[in-house]
Protein backbone atom coordinates (compact mmCIF):
# COMPACT_ATOMS: atom_id res chain seq x y z
CA UNK A 1 0.00 0.00 0.00
CA UNK A 2 2.72 2.48 0.95
CA UNK A 3 4.80 1.48 -2.07
CA UNK A 4 1.84 2.17 -4.36
CA UNK A 5 1.43 5.64 -2.86
CA UNK A 6 5.11 6.41 -3.34
CA UNK A 7 5.10 5.16 -6.94
CA UNK A 8 1.94 7.13 -7.72
CA UNK A 9 3.38 10.30 -6.20
CA UNK A 10 6.63 9.92 -8.16
CA UNK A 11 4.74 9.36 -11.42
CA UNK A 12 2.53 12.40 -10.84
CA UNK A 13 5.50 14.58 -9.90
CA UNK A 14 7.45 13.44 -12.96
CA UNK A 15 4.46 14.07 -15.20
CA UNK A 16 3.79 17.55 -13.84
CA UNK A 17 7.43 18.58 -14.07
CA UNK A 18 7.70 17.21 -17.62
CA UNK A 19 4.57 19.07 -18.69
CA UNK A 20 5.79 22.28 -17.03
CA UNK A 21 9.18 22.19 -18.71
CA UNK A 22 7.71 21.17 -22.09
CA UNK A 23 5.27 24.07 -22.12
CA UNK A 24 7.96 26.46 -20.89
CA UNK A 25 10.27 25.64 -23.82
CA UNK A 26 7.63 25.74 -26.54
CA UNK A 27 5.73 22.95 -28.23
CA UNK A 28 6.94 23.54 -31.80
CA UNK A 29 9.75 20.99 -31.45
CA UNK A 30 8.60 17.38 -32.08
CA UNK A 31 10.81 16.06 -29.26
CA UNK A 32 9.22 18.44 -26.79
CA UNK A 33 5.77 17.38 -28.00
CA UNK A 34 6.76 13.79 -27.29
CA UNK A 35 7.92 14.81 -23.81
CA UNK A 36 4.58 16.56 -23.26
CA UNK A 37 2.71 13.39 -24.16
CA UNK A 38 5.04 11.35 -21.92
CA UNK A 39 4.30 13.76 -19.05
CA UNK A 40 0.55 13.47 -19.59
CA UNK A 41 0.75 9.66 -19.66
CA UNK A 42 2.94 9.62 -16.56
CA UNK A 43 0.60 11.89 -14.60
CA UNK A 44 -2.40 9.83 -15.70
CA UNK A 45 -0.70 6.58 -14.69
CA UNK A 46 0.17 8.06 -11.28
CA UNK A 47 -3.40 9.16 -10.68
CA UNK A 48 -4.63 5.71 -11.74
CA UNK A 49 -2.23 4.00 -9.32
CA UNK A 50 -3.45 6.18 -6.45
CA UNK A 51 -7.15 5.96 -7.23
CA UNK A 52 -7.47 2.28 -8.15
CA UNK A 53 -7.42 1.17 -4.51
CA UNK A 54 -10.16 3.59 -3.46
CA UNK A 55 -13.74 2.46 -3.17
CA UNK A 56 -16.87 4.53 -3.62
CA UNK A 57 -17.55 4.59 0.12
CA UNK A 58 -14.09 6.03 0.86
CA UNK A 59 -14.49 8.71 -1.80
CA UNK A 60 -17.96 9.67 -0.51
CA UNK A 61 -16.63 9.87 3.07
CA UNK A 62 -13.85 12.22 1.97
CA UNK A 63 -16.26 14.43 0.01
CA UNK A 64 -18.63 14.58 2.99
CA UNK A 65 -15.69 15.43 5.25
CA UNK A 66 -14.66 18.28 2.95
CA UNK A 67 -18.21 19.64 2.81
CA UNK A 68 -18.76 19.45 6.57
CA UNK A 69 -15.32 20.93 7.25
CA UNK A 70 -15.97 23.82 4.89
CA UNK A 71 -19.39 24.49 6.45
CA UNK A 72 -17.87 24.30 9.94
CA UNK A 73 -15.07 26.68 8.96
CA UNK A 74 -17.65 29.12 7.62
CA UNK A 75 -19.63 28.96 10.85
CA UNK A 76 -16.53 29.44 13.00
CA UNK A 77 -14.95 32.27 11.01
CA UNK A 78 -17.76 33.93 9.12
CA UNK A 79 -20.96 33.46 11.06
CA UNK A 80 -22.59 36.87 11.40
CA UNK A 81 -23.24 38.26 14.86
CA UNK A 82 -25.58 41.05 13.93
CA UNK A 83 -28.38 41.67 16.39
CA UNK A 84 -30.60 43.41 13.84
CA UNK A 85 -32.03 40.19 12.45
CA UNK A 86 -31.18 37.53 15.03
CA UNK A 87 -31.12 37.12 18.78
CA UNK A 88 -28.02 38.23 20.67
CA UNK A 89 -26.63 34.80 21.61
CA UNK A 90 -27.01 33.21 18.18
CA UNK A 91 -23.42 34.08 17.22
CA UNK A 92 -22.11 31.82 19.98
CA UNK A 93 -24.47 29.05 18.94
CA UNK A 94 -23.28 29.37 15.34
CA UNK A 95 -19.64 29.13 16.41
CA UNK A 96 -20.45 26.08 18.57
CA UNK A 97 -22.22 24.35 15.69
CA UNK A 98 -19.30 25.31 13.44
CA UNK A 99 -16.77 23.70 15.76
CA UNK A 100 -18.86 20.51 15.89
CA UNK A 101 -19.13 20.41 12.09
CA UNK A 102 -15.42 21.14 11.71
CA UNK A 103 -14.44 18.28 14.04
CA UNK A 104 -16.78 15.83 12.30
CA UNK A 105 -15.53 16.93 8.88
CA UNK A 106 -11.88 16.58 9.91
CA UNK A 107 -12.60 13.12 11.34
CA UNK A 108 -14.24 11.97 8.11
CA UNK A 109 -11.51 13.53 6.00
CA UNK A 110 -8.52 12.14 7.84
CA UNK A 111 -9.77 8.81 9.22
pLDDT digits (tens, 9 = 90+) for 15-24: 999 888 887 7
- Distance, in Å, from the CA atom of 42 to the CA atom of 11, rounded to the nearest integer, reads 5
Question: Residue 45: which of 15, 18, 22 has the closest Cα?
Answer: 15
- Cα distance between residue 11 and residue 83, in whole Å: 54
pLDDT digits (tens, 9 = 90+) for 48-103: 988 887 788 888 999 999 999 999 999 888 876 666 677 777 778 888 999 999 99
What pTM was computed for the model?
A: 0.58
For the cut 80, the answer to whether the pLDDT of residue 1 exceeds it is no
Q: What pLDDT shows up at residue 89?
A: 73
Output the pLDDT for position 31: 80
Amino acid sequence: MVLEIIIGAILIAFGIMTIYFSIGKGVSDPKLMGMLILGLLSAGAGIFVLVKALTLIVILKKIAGLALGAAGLFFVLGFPDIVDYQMEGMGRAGVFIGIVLLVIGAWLLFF
